[in-house]
Chains A and B, each alone.
Chain A
């Protein structure tokens, strides 16, 4: 095999890798159940991808303290529409749960007394916008629109401001 052929195979690998990355997330976005979730954000910066907002979710907050052996292990949170497309936690399980009508589940990881959802824990924004979102959080709650698949994976569709009061007034734990 000539070097040119090998080189073309290398380029093909790059193309397949690049486009192959899109597919599973695009599939979730196209076929998953659309849900809206309440969040609690802060705004750091990624070296490779610029400004982003770390998103913690009410659905993952306020769980009983987990033993150290469960730290970082998978957990599945079951959500149900609480009205207006806003989904709230109804229960959680250590294995993939059987879902009832109208329920969806999110796969996360135990973090002491809360659950992080790696699929939807970060939202990348235009440079500088992270700070604005943090300020907006003082007057509103950020809401996340996401698509959730049957296998409990999720993909963020968008971020928007909810017409709600600041977190401090509601006693919701922040991260």
Chain B
């Protein structure tokens, strides 16, 4: 075993990336050996034996870390390409192959990639990245097989139980293999399942992606709640032996969903007031209740990196609640009578409605800036990037929303271009500074 000594910075980086909970009280102001640190975390139950070996291997390779990461990225891309190819193979619906033959081909592919991936990743161990990529392909082929069955039997387009099974498969393997890639996939699959289930419950038949755009069935108003729920699950998973591997993935996904919904809601008044009417169908209410429970559990029992984290989560919950209240306020003020009225002129006619919308945009900007600040404090580049992209989009959208009404079109474009160039330069510099600050 190597008796390598870590510098304070490296130790802090590993520490904060793996265990942002701060529960382990090793002091930063002294040098500790890798072996001591790993053994300590293992004895505390914070690291599994596999994770300890993985970290030791990673340190042993030292300077080869970057090529190793590149191999991981290449393997993942290869896996995704193979998976997409299989899904397209199902989509082409070749009549040269009988349904039974197609099922056999996919079955062989599914089992073959599963066993080969497990062998390479865990039994031989010398082709770990390739093995994980094959295990990822296995879950993609599993999804393709489900849709092959749906194709053979002409099952409904909103095939929610198929999406549920696929999500279940991805989630099960995520935890069996402690694979972030599988966990990453399981979140969009869960959204697909929920979107289709809700369409089936609300309206019945519709096209595959109506749950994204159609106002009556859109999942958009549920995204902040889902995001907050996933984020809460991430906070609850911190420091838990079998779940800590997914903390960062779930945290980023949760925050991304909240940010995405808020960014889209700033696109236009009509988008905000139409899409952010709180849905009252049974499934939406269940999602809301589940998110509230996860929220409450995280605030009560969650492990936070800083003392302010708990208040931050509470503030996020209040902010999301406020968005819905703001979107409903015109209705409560009697500015609309029915839930399905057309906004257009009515919205323009009321200064109060415009005022609420401007308030929403200002609060959205504050939220994005808070995300950047939070990412800087917790040294989370993904959170900084999400916050920066969101604030850039917000400025971009607002500029084009207002500029054409106030300026000549040519000036609006020229000024817009100059603003975007200046903004990108400022963001690039600020991002570099923040990331450099984090590394030192």
Contacts and interface: CB of A to CB of B under 8 A. Distances in A.
B165 interface: yes
A25 interface: yes
A85 interface: no
Nearest to A29: B153
A136 interface: no
B249 interface: no
A10 B172 contact: yes
A109 B122 CA distance: 50
B177 interface: yes
Nearest to B110: A14
Q: Identify which of A11, A48, A156 gathers the most chain B CB atoms within 10 Å of its CB.
A: A48
A110 to B, nearest CB: 8
Interface string B398-414: 00000000000000000
Contacts of B177: 3, 7
B416 interface: no
Band of interface residues on A: 35 or more
A139 B168 CA distance: 46
Interface string B161-178: 010010011001100110
Given A6-B176, A50-B151, A118-B156, A18 B90 contact: no
B155 A25 contact: yes
B91 A46 contact: yes
B154 A155 contact: yes
Report, as a range, how many residues of chain B touch the other chain. Answer: 35 or more
A69 interface: no
A116 B176 CA distance: 41
B208 interface: yes
Contacts of A111: 203-205
Given A118-B205, A122-B156, A49 B147 contact: yes
Interface string A31-48: 000000000000010111
A11 B139 CA distance: 10
A17 B205 contact: no
Interface stretch (A76-84, A95-103, A124-132, A162-170): A124-132
Nearest to B166: A17
Interface string A111-152: 100001011111111110000000000000000000000000
Nearest to B149: A21
B132 interface: no
Contacts of B138: 14
A48 B154 contact: no
B376 interface: no
A31 B172 CA distance: 35
Interface string A58-74: 00000000000001100
Nearest to B201: A72
B111 A46 contact: no
A48 B208 contact: yes
Contacts of A4: 118, 122
Given A111-B204, A111-B205, A18 B91 contact: no
Contacts of B176: 3, 6-7, 9-10
B162 A118 contact: no
A18 B145 contact: yes
A160 B228 CA distance: 50
B87 A48 contact: yes
B207 to A, nearest CB: 7
A10 B139 CA distance: 10
Interface stretch (B25-33, B92-100, B293-301): B92-100
B207 A44 contact: yes
Contacts of A72: 201-204
Contacts of B111: 11
B197 to A, nearest CB: 13
Nearest to A48: B147
A51 interface: yes
B12 to A, nearest CB: 31
A163 to B, nearest CB: 24
Contact of B173 (A10, A108, A124, A156): A10
B150 interface: yes
A144 B142 CA distance: 30
Contact of B204 (A51, A116, A127, A156): A116
Contact of B114 (A11, A48, A50, A120): A11
B204 A126 contact: no
Contacts of B50: 3
Contacts of A118: 156, 158, 200, 204-205
Q: Which 3 A-B pairs have the closest CB atoms?
A: A109-B204, A50-B91, A116-B205
23 contacts: A3-B176, A13-B168, A13-B169, A14-B114, A14-B142, A17-B146, A17-B165, A18-B110, A18-B142, A18-B145, A22-B149, A46-B208, A48-B87, A49-B93, A49-B147, A50-B92, A71-B203, A109-B203, A118-B200, A124-B151, A126-B92, A127-B93, A155-B154
Interface of B: 50, 87, 90-95, 107, 110-111, 114, 118, 122, 138, 142, 145-147, 149-151, 153-158, 162, 165, 168-169, 172-173, 176-177, 200-205, 207-209
